[in-house]
Structure formats: structure tokens, C-alpha cells
Amino acid sequence: MSKPSPKLELFASFAAVAKASAHPNRLDLLEHIAQGERSVDALAAVSGLSIANASQHLLQMRRGGLVISRRDGKRVLYRLSSERVLDLLAALRGIAEGNVAEAQQTIAAYFTSRDSMEPLATADLARALKSKSIVLLDVRPEGEYAMGHIRDAVNIPLKDLERKIKSLPRQKEIVAYCRGPYCVLSFEAVAALRKRGFSARRLEGGLPECAAAGLPIASGG
């Protein structure tokens, strides 16, 4: 084995990063990690993987530089290595949306049909909040909301939406967000709200994108 050129050596490292993100389960784990630091068992639980399997995937992502782990007492917590990981995910999304037929079909079948209206751009959220022209609705489960949410967001988990829908104002537009651009929760929430006559829209990104955009994050109930 002759030594490869420096460029190919470097490309091998870049390829390792790509490989670390080249598995559906790992992308799913990443979406959850992007919400904030999470333990292995929490990640295994939300993604439906066995603990050993989740651990293996997490280790691969660590080797690929996507996540960083630290020990906190009995458990090991994983977080994104940097915000650049969100750029990587956005790039993967953009390419798939634009150029992969399968992705376009899935989006057309499950997502766009429910969301005829343009989502609110993450960049425009700060202004909208300031003018109080909207109500920002976090439709993730309580536990995730408690671990971190956009300041001023109201939490009504999707499963409680029917029950608590009356607490929402009819005169303001409701902007729903959840984990990320393809988390189904906000799509479902908007559909339910519109059926009840509310003016509702999705936020373009989820919590991680908002945090990266500099919006204030709060935690606790």
C-alpha cells in the first residue's frame, strides 16, 4: 500500500464525515441531538432503537466529527459538535428536495399536500414575535419542551391539541414548530388547526435552526 496523496487523504476524512451521516437512523438521532444534549438511553427511546444499536451509531457519528460526547455521572450525553452540522443537514435536504425523485415523491405525498401555505421563514420569526402578530406554538412532547424551547413559545403537544385548542386565540395567526423541517408534528398540528378554522402556518425550521439563527432559548416547564 503506497501512501495516498495528501489530497486523497483529506478527501478520505471528508468522506468519513459523509459516511457518518449516511444512514437514516443516524439522521434521526441527529435531529434529536440537534434539540439539545441527550443521553444514549433517551436517544434510543425516541428513535426506537436498541440501546446497543443507538450507541454504535452514536460512536460512528462521533468518529465522523458530527457529535461530541461527555460523561455526566452515570450517563453519557451527546451533543452536536458545531452548528455546521445543521448546514450539512440543510445541504442534504436541499439536494434531495431538488434532485432525488424518491424524496420529491415522499414530500409530495405526505408533506406539501397538507401545507399549501408558505411556511414562515426562520429569519422572519424574530420580527413577527416582536410585533406580537402571531402566537408561536411548540407542538413537541412536554419533556422536549421542558429541555429547551424558543422563548415566548406556548407548548401544546400534538396529542393534546384537540383538547386544548380552545385556549388559542382566533384573531392571531398561529405559527407551529417542532423538531425540524421534516418533523411531522407541526404539519399535523397545522392541518388540525386549519380544520378548526384557525389561521395557522408552519415555521420553516425547527428548534435547532432557530437556536442557530440566534433566537433566545428558554428551558424549564
Partner DNA sequence: CGTACATTCAAATAGTCCATTGAATGTATG
Partner DNA sequence: CATACATTCAATGGACTATTTGAATGTACG
Taking CB under 8 A as the binding criterion, the range among 63-71, 134-142, 163-171, 204-212 that sits at the site for its own copies is: 63-71
183 is catalytic: no
By CB under 8 A, residue 95 contacts its own copies: yes
Measured CA to CA, the distance from residue 64 to residue 66 in angstroms comes to 6
**Least distance to its own copies from the beta carbon of 172, Å?**
29
Measured from the CB atom, the residue of 80 and 125 that comes closer to its own copies is: 80
Work out how close the CB of 117 gets to DNA at its nearest, in angstroms, rounded to a whole number: 36
Is residue 96 a contact point for DNA (CB under 7 A)? no
147 near its own copies (CB under 8 A): no
Pick the closer one to DNA by CB: 12 or 95.
12
Residue 57 within binding range of DNA, rule CB under 7 A: yes
Phi and psi torsions of 69, nearest 5°: -120, 155
Query: 217 is in the binding site of which of DNA, its own copies, none (Cβ under 5 to 8 A by kind)?
Result: none
Q: What is the 3-state secondary structure (H, E, C) of the chain?
A: CCCCCHHHHHHHHHHHHHHHCCCHHHHHHHHHHCCCCEEHHHHHHHHCCCHHHHHHHHHHHHHCCCEEEEEECCEEEEEECCCHHHHHHHHHHHHHHHHCHHHHHHHHHHHHHHCCCCCECHHHHHHHHHCCCEEEEECCCHHHHHCCEECCCEECCHHHHHHHHHHCCCCCEEEEECCCCCCHHHHHHHHHHHHCCCCEEEECCCHHHHHHCCCCEECCC
First to last CA, the chain: 58
Q: How far is the CB of 23 from DNA (least distance, A)?
A: 4
For residue 59, count other CB atoms closer than 10 A to its CB.
15
19 touches its own copies (CB under 8 A): yes
- Cβ 220 to its own copies shortest distance, Å: 28
Residue 143 C-beta: closest distance to its own copies, Å: 19
Residue 55 binds DNA, judged by CB under 7 A: yes
Residue of 20, 178, 193, 203 marked catalytic: 178
Of residues 107 through 126, those in contact with its own copies by CB under 8 A are 107, 109-111
Q: Which residues are catalytic?
A: 178
Please give the residue ranges that form the binding site for its own copies (CB under 8 A).
Answer: 5-19, 21-24, 26-28, 64-66, 68, 81-82, 84-85, 87-96, 98-100, 102-103, 106-107, 109-111, 182-184
